[in-house]
Every structure is written in C-alpha cells, then in structure tokens.
Structure 1
C-alpha cells in the first residue's frame, strides 16, 4: 500500500507540475498576447477618439468664429446706438424749447396783426379754427 500511495502521490505531483507548467505556457502564449492586443486596440480607439474630438472642436470653432464676430459688431452697434439716442434726446429737448419760444413769438405777432387790422379799418376777420 505504501508503494501504491507513493505512485499516486508521484502521479499527483507530476500532474500538478505539468498543470502549472501548462497554465504558465497558456498564460504566456495566449493570455498575455491577447491582453496586449486588447490594450493596443484600446489605445488606437482612444487616439482615434481624440483625433475625432480635435477635428470636431476645430470645425466648431471655425463655424463659431463668424458668429462671435457678428456678436461683437452688434455689441458695438448697440453702444453706438445708445450714444446716438442720448444725443438725440438732448437735441430734442433743445428743439422743444426753441419751438415753445417760437410759438410764443407767433402768438405775440398774431395779436399785433389783429390790433393793426382793427386800427386800419378792416372789419372782416376770418380765421380757420384749429381742429
């Protein structure tokens, strides 16, 4: 029985050694190259994605540039328009004051004309009424 046990133990040890060797061989020949190919493919995919993103970003920036320029021009026009509006309000105030003064002078002239017409004997006065 001791011999049989020695034979079985020897066989198990031999199978274990051969199995470990086969696992290492399979790992070295099959698994590691497969993992390396996976890593290489992942790098290629990442590089392709980065290249695509760079190209996309360049195109977006190229398309966005005219919009940015247009917005800048519109902002400049808006500022200029606001300055013009302030100036126009100042001019309008001056004109309103001047018109008020002229209307007052016209009223005074109208009264003088009526007095002159009455003194010269013009009896018929016809005025259009304002609507």
Structure 2
C-alpha cells in the first residue's frame, strides 16, 4: 500500500482536517479501522454508534505484531479496548449514539448534528482550530 501512496494520502487527510476553518464532526458507523481511521479523530467532536468499532489497527494485526500470532486476535481485541464504551471512557469519542435503524432515528440524528454544528459555528475560527488541535494532541 505504501507504493501506492496510501501513507501520504492519510498524512494529507490529517493535515487538511486539522486546518479546516469550518466545524468538523466525525461519526463512526460500523467499523472504522486501519491507518485511514486516524483521520476520523481529527474532528472537533467524534461520535460512535452503539454497535460500532474504531481502531487504527485490526486485532489480527495487533496480535501479529505483539505475539507473532494472528490467531490471538480475540485476546488482542480485549486488550485494545475497541468498543464504544471503552473509547468513551478513554475520552477518544465524545458520546455513544444509539444505532440508526429507522427514519425516525435519522431525523433524531439530523437534529442532534444540527445542534452540534450550530454550537461549533459560534466559535471564532482561531478558537475552533485551536481546540481541535488540542483535542487531537491528547492522543
């Protein structure tokens, strides 16, 4: 993947995301994984739905690196803390949202996001970007 420039693309995504002069909210639905998932944490606010997963490395990859045995993926997953509640406890995500299963859920999510974007838009651009960079630096 490095021969095809994926590392550079991820780096550019991070760089651009950290400099956006507009509010930036990330929502992790399903599975956010691998190196490209790092860019999801550039947001001013980061949310996950209840049954999602977020990690910059798969449990198989972690097990292969740490124990030279991809079959130890279940133990790696437990050690990595990939669940929304664990990531909330570690302050990687700001809130765990309910699963989206209906049109009503979509309307609730749209209202939620509208409120969050409205609040973020009130911040001066310099403060918005500074807070985003401070948030990301905690990782």
Query: Which structure has more strand as a fraction of its residues?
Result: 2
Q: Which structure is higher in helix share? A: 1
What's the TM-score bracket when you normalise by the shorter of the two chains?
under 0.3
TM value normalised by structure 2: 0.18
* TM-score normalised by the chain length of structure 1: 0.19
Q: State the structure with bigger RCO (CA 8 A, min sep 6), 1 or 2.
A: 2
